Chains A and B, each alone.
Chain A
Amino acid sequence: MTQTDMLSSDQEDLRLLRESARTLFDRAGGSSRARKLRDAGGGWDPKMVRELAEAGVFGVTVPEANGGLGMGLAAGGVIAEEVGRVIAPEPVVATIGLSLGLLRRLCPDHPKMAQLISGETVLAVAWQERGPNGAPAETTCRYADGKLTGSKAWVVGAAGAHGFLVVAEGDDGPVLAMVEAAAEGLSVVKRTQADGSAMGELSFSGTPAEELARGARVSNALAEAISDATALAAAELVGLSERALEITLDYIKTREQFDKPIGSFQVIQHRAVDLHVMREVAQAGVREVLALMDRETDPKIRARLASRAKARAVTAAKKITRDAIQLHGAVGYTDEYEIGLYLNRALVLSAWLGDDAYHRRLWFEAREEEGAAQ
C-alpha cells in the first residue's frame, strides 16, 4: 500500500465514523435535545451515553489491546466535532480525553476501563483547585492511608457521574485516587454554567478512596490527558461553530427587511464571509493539529500543538457565536431561538481548559523553550 492509499483509507474510516455519529445525534433530536435536558435541570441522558458507547465513541482513542478502537485523536476529533454540532451535554470529550486519557496511561487493566468504554460508568476527573482569591492554585488536596482531605474545583460532569478520579498529593508525590459518588465525607457543590450544565466543587474530609497510581507518572499522564482533552475541546468548538454559522446563514437568507432577505445586503454578506473564512481556518488548523498529535510523542510538543488548536478554536467560536447573535437581530437575544444555545455552550467550552489568550501564552512560551533548546 502506498502512503496515499493508506491516507485515503484512513480518511474513509473517519468519514464513516462521522456519518454514524451524526446519524445517532440527529435521530436523537439534534440541538433540541440539548434544550430539553437543560430545561429539565441541566444533566445529561444516561441512555444517550450507552448509545454512544455502543457506537464505540468512548473507546475511540484507547488501544485495541485495551478494548478500544485504537483510532487516535484524529478520530476523537471527528466525534468531538459532531458533539459540538448538536451541543450534546454528555461529557464525551471529558471522558475520552481526561477519564480514559488518565486510566489508559496509568492502569489500562483496571476494570473501570471497560465500564467507561461500555458507558456503564461515567467518571469525572478532579484535577484543578481553587486558591483563596478564586483563581486556579497548586494542588493541596491530600491523599493518605486510603483517605482524601481537601477540595477540588471545575469538575466537568460532576453532576451525574458515578465517581471521581482525583489527583491529590500523597506522601511521596502525586496520587491518582478514585472516589465513589456516594462516598462518605464527600460533598459536591454544583456551579451552574451558561449552558445550564454544572461544574462541581468537591470537598473531601477523610473520604475513602482507592489509589490507582502514584508518583511522577501521575503528573505526566495528567499533562498528556489535558493536552488530549484540550485539543478535543477545540474540535468540539469547531463543530459548534460550523453549526452556529449554518443556522445564521439560513436565517439571513430568509429574514426579510426593506422587502429583501437581509443576506442580500453587502455588509451582511461580507460579515458572513469573514465568519465562514474564520471557521474554515479553524477547522483546517484543528484537524491538522489532531493528526500531528497522533504522530508526535514528545509531551511538550503535543502540549504546544494542543494550545495552538484551542487558541484558534476559541477565537473562531467566540467571534462566530457573538456575531451570529448580531446577525439574528433582536430574536438572537431571546432564549427561545436556537442560536443562543450555541453562544452559551461556546462560553463554557472556551473557559474550560483555558481560553484563547491563555493558550496563546502557553503556545508562545513552548515555542520559545523549543527555540532555546535548539
Chain B
Amino acid sequence: MTDWNAMSDAEFRKEVRGFFEAEYPEELRHLPHRPKFAEIEHWHRKLHARGWVAPAWPTEYGGMGLNAAKLLIFYEEQQRWGVTRGRDMGVQMVGPLIIKFGTRKQKDYWLPRILSCEDIWCQGYSEPGAGSDLANLRTRAEVDGDDFVINGQKIWTTMAHDATHIFMLVRTDPNAPKKQQGISFLLAPMDQPGVDVRTIATLSGETEFCEVFFDNARTPRENLVGELNKGWTMAKALLSFERIFIGAPNLAQNALGQLESFARGRGAFDDPVFRDRFAQAALDVEDHAALYARFADQLKRGETLGADVSMLKIWVTECFQRITELMIEAAGPDGGTIGPLQVGNVGVDVLSSFYKARPTTIYGGSNEIQRNILSKAVLGLPG
C-alpha cells in the first residue's frame, strides 16, 4: 500500500491532480447541484477501486491515511478541478464517528458499506425548533425491547430522499439537567414504514433539502454509537477539521474567476466604479488566502485549531456573496434571468452562483453564531 504521507507535497499534488484530470468525467465538473448517487455512480466506482473514497480515514479501515497537510492538498485539488464531493456524508461525518467511538462490530459492519456506498447516509441534526440552537432538539428515542423507537422530525436534511440511512442526534433523556445532556448518537435505516421524507424546494428551485418525519420508526439498540446520552460531546469532537474546510478559499476563488471572465466579456471593466469593487473583492480573496494559509500551516505542524478558525468562514462566505452580487450587477438587465448567460463561447449561470452563495452564511453554524463564538472564546467578551 502506498504511504502517501512519505511523498513530498509537490509529488503528492501531482499524483492527485493527474488522477482527477485523467479520470474525472468532464460532464461532472463543477456541478451546480448536489448529485444523486446514480448520477455519479461510475465515478464513485473508479474512486473506490483506487482506494481514494476516504482520504482522511486511517488505512486500516480502508482510507488513505492522509495527514492534515496532504489532506488539504487533496481537497484543494478536488475543488480546483471541480470534482464533486459526491455523497460524502458517510465518509465525512458518520465514518469518523464510528472509527472514534464505535465498537469493533460496528466498524466491521458499517465502514466497508460506507466506502462502497452500499449504504448512503444523510445527517439528521437540525429540527424545526433546533437550528442555531441545535441542543434544543426534541426528536425522541425510547428503548423498547431490543430496539429504539423514534418519534419526531428532522429538517434541512441534505439529500435524505437519496439516502438509505440516517445518522442522527436524538433525545434519550428528556429529564437531564442541561439540554446538551441527554442527547445520543443513533444510526437508523430509512427504508421502513415509520420514516417519511418530503423534499423542500429552495429559492434556486433545487430540492437538496428534506424534512424527515419519524412516527414510531425503529432501529436496533446496537445502532447506538458511543455511550447513551453522550452524543453532543461526540458530535462536537469532530468539528475541528470541518471548521477549516468550511472556511477554505476555493468557493470564493472560483466565483471570482467566473466574475472576471463574465465582467470582461460584458465590458463591465470600462466602469471605474465596477473596477474598484472588483479590486476590493479580489483583494478580499487574496488576503483571506493568506490567513487561511496560516491556519493550514498550524494543522500541518500537527497543532489543534482553536476557536479563532471561525473567522475564515465568516470572511470567505460573506466575500463569496459579494462576488456573486457583483456578477448580477455586471449582468445588468439579465440579472434576473434563469440559466446560463452567453459570454463569448461560454455560458455563465449568474443566478445559480448567487443562490449557491446564500446558504453559506447560514449552514455549518450561521455567521452570527460564529461571531458569538469568536466574541466569547477569542476576544473574551463577557456574558
Interface size on A, residues (CB 8 A): 32
Say if the beta carbon of B315 comes within 8 Å of chain A. yes
Query: Which residues of the partner chain A approach B284 to less than 8 Å between Cβ atoms?
Result: 281
- CB-CB under 8 A from A252, the residues of chain B are 381
Most-contacted residue by chain B among A269, A273, A274, A284 (CB, 10 A) = A273
A216 in the interface, Cβ–Cβ < 8 Å?
A: no
Q: Are A270 and B383 in contact (CB under 8 A)?
A: no
In the bound complex, what is the Cα–Cα distance between A273 and B381 (angstroms)? 10
Q: At the interface with chain A, which of B59-67, B100-108, B273-281?
A: B273-281
Q: How far is the CA of A260 from the CA of B383 in the complex (A)?
A: 9
* B150 at the A interface (CB under 8 A): no
- Which residues of B, 232-281, contact A by the 8 Å Cβ criterion? 275-276, 278-280
- B311 contacts the other chain (Cβ, under 8 Å)? yes
| Residue pair B311, A280 in contact (C-beta under 8 Å) | yes
Given A281-B288, A285-B290, answer yes or no on A363-B379 (Cβ-Cβ < 8 Å): no
B368 is an interface residue with CB less than 8 A from chain A: yes
A260 surroundings in chain B (CB, below 8 A): 382-383
Taking a contact as CB atoms under 8 Å apart, the answer to whether B383 and A276 are in contact is: no
Residues A264 and B311 in contact, CB atoms below 8 Å apart = no
Interface centre among A266, A284, A367 (most CB of B within 10 A): A284
> How many Å lie between the Cα of A274 and that of B276 in the bound state?
22
A289's nearest neighbour on chain B, judged by CB, is: B290
Within the assembled complex, what's the spacing in Å between the Cα atoms of A168 and B280? 35
Let me know if B375 and A357 touch, CB within 8 A.
no
Bound Cα distance A275, B379 (Å): 11
Which A residues from 194 to 252 make CB contacts under 8 A with B? 249, 252
A152 at the A/B interface (Cβ < 8 Å)? Answer: no
B379 touches A311 (CB 8 A): no
Q: A263-B382, A272-B375, A277-B314 are in contact. List 5 more A-B contacts (CB 8 A).
A: A266-B372, A269-B372, A281-B290, A282-B287, A285-B291
Instruction: Enumerate chain A interface residues (CB-CB to B < 8 A).
Output: 249, 252-253, 260-261, 263-264, 266, 268-270, 272-274, 276-277, 280-282, 284-285, 287-288, 308, 311-312, 357, 360-361, 363-364, 367
User: Can you sample 28 A-B contacts with CB below 8 Å?
Assistant: A249-B380, A253-B381, A260-B383, A261-B382, A261-B383, A263-B382, A266-B372, A269-B371, A270-B368, A270-B371, A272-B379, A276-B311, A276-B374, A276-B378, A277-B311, A277-B315, A280-B308, A281-B288, A284-B293, A288-B287, A308-B287, A311-B283, A360-B276, A360-B283, A361-B276, A363-B279, A364-B279, A367-B282
